[in-house]
Structure 1
């Protein structure tokens, strides 16, 4: 048996063990992506085999908490893909303005850059006071970072450029205070957030919302899990509610494709049919 075959056997056992031990289900994540990330984890923790890594994860809960960074990709920036946020301003906001109150779900919020970006956009469009943003992720450390809303000062130049290109109406500096090499975003925005641990692989819908933004998350799922996630989004959205995906994601091969219509094809914004 080839070494890569043994690696895949060990990987399956690891995922089953994590499900039984911690009730987190990664079995339907992309195998190619998991292979790469487990190899990185093995190097990081000095493990010669996946089985050795598994032993540490199952016996050390703190180790599993650290491992979540390898199962979930924590890469984001404020107003990432500015054209997406510009399309939200131009095509989605006018419809959201017709509702007396608004609920938005950011699924897989990572360290919160998108959550704070959406809040700033809603503030500038006069919608934040009647909005609630539910931000979810399976990584509790990422959720804590998202809630804190503190980002390295060297990242702010890129954030500001994105904000400008996205149609920002002020200066991004109006929304944060710089201190100790970090930018702390305005606590007034934070009043409209709810952070929660939620898994698209195992959990169900928790509220009816007007918009779901799940960007650059499903590219790490296999087709079955992608279909499950899109089914959850369809279930949670109000009639004619909105779904935003990442630039490399689409509904083309989803069994739920007919349940949505394209609102902005280039920016991957859909509307529940």
Structure 2
């Protein structure tokens, strides 16, 4: 009876399992999800446990400690892989109309797409820069923590039934050409021109544990930090600040903001409605 009462009064068993599983994932494989928003992580782990066929999160933890293939499958649940090319067309129109004139003043450019997922945003930037005559002098960094997502991004291959939405977004973003100019079709798939990847460096990079690796004129990290807790959001924004050249630009997702960050004073709002910020001079 006393033991039952202590269990009822203590931390829920599932919460303990989640804590231990995330700690095991970090210690064994160095993937750190310990500071992701707990409600989101709990929902994804429940889904992973069910879909992967484990009776409990403890059983899932035991498997991932012993089988790296389980970790690969688990990452697909813990990282968000939902995106579109030219997602939120107003964001890309604002870059084209308001940011590009500033980017033209640099003899060379470095742009970081953080949390690039399957590469949809990367190719959106590459096409936009090509249309604006800037791609040849730009080096793009595409990073993610999920190796499977990086492989998709490097392949540039997408299901053909997604292209209609991509095309509509491209047009609404102010595209200056036809999206069909950039891909070929075969076997129900669209394969994007490999020349769009000639100036891209693909790399695994964690906003949780890794450091700054380059000075950039633009960092785009959208719909990633909504899954972080507040301290981790601040860490990521600090990385972006340190990665940007003076008066460099930062683009966030529509539901993200710098307003409550300890680094907010390092930026000014550049295009408020599209969550594009500019780093201050000092």
| TM value normalised by structure 2 | 0.95
Paired with 2:12 and 2:40, the residues of 1 have a C-alpha distance of 16
Partner of 1:228: 235
Task: Please give the per-residue CA displacement for 1:26-59, whole angstroms capped at 9, x wherever unaligned.
Answer: 1100000000000000110122211011011111
The alignment status of 1:201 with 2:185, answered yes or no, reads: no
Task: Please give the per-residue CA displacement for 1:140-163, whole angstroms capped at 9, x wherever unaligned.
Answer: 110010010010000000000000
Partner of 2:174: 167
Partner of 1:93: 100
2:219 aligns with one of 194, 212, 219: 212
Partner of 1:188: 195
Tell me the SS of whatever aligns to 2:12: helix
| Aligned ranges 1:72-83 → 2 under 5 Å | 72-83=79-90
Paired with 2:65 and 2:90, the residues of 1 have a C-alpha distance of 43
Task: Please give the per-residue CA displacement for 1:191-250, whole angstroms capped at 9, x wherever unaligned.
Answer: 011000000000000011110000000000000100000000000100000000000111
Paired with 2:43 and 2:254, the residues of 1 have a C-alpha distance of 22
| Aligned ranges 1:1-273 → 2 under 5 Å | 1-2=7-8, 5-273=12-280
Tell me the SS of whatever aligns to 1:132: strand
Paired with 2:274 and 2:56, the residues of 1 have a C-alpha distance of 41
Paired with 2:168 and 2:53, the residues of 1 have a C-alpha distance of 40
Identify unmatched segments of 5+ residues in structure 1. none
Kindly tell me the number of residue pairs found equivalent between the two proteins.
273
Tell me the SS of whatever aligns to 1:266: helix
Q: Which deviates more, 260-269 or 44-53?
A: 44-53
Identify unmatched segments of 5+ residues in structure 2. 1-6
Q: What's the Cα RMSD here?
A: 1.0
Tell me the SS of whatever aligns to 1:211: strand
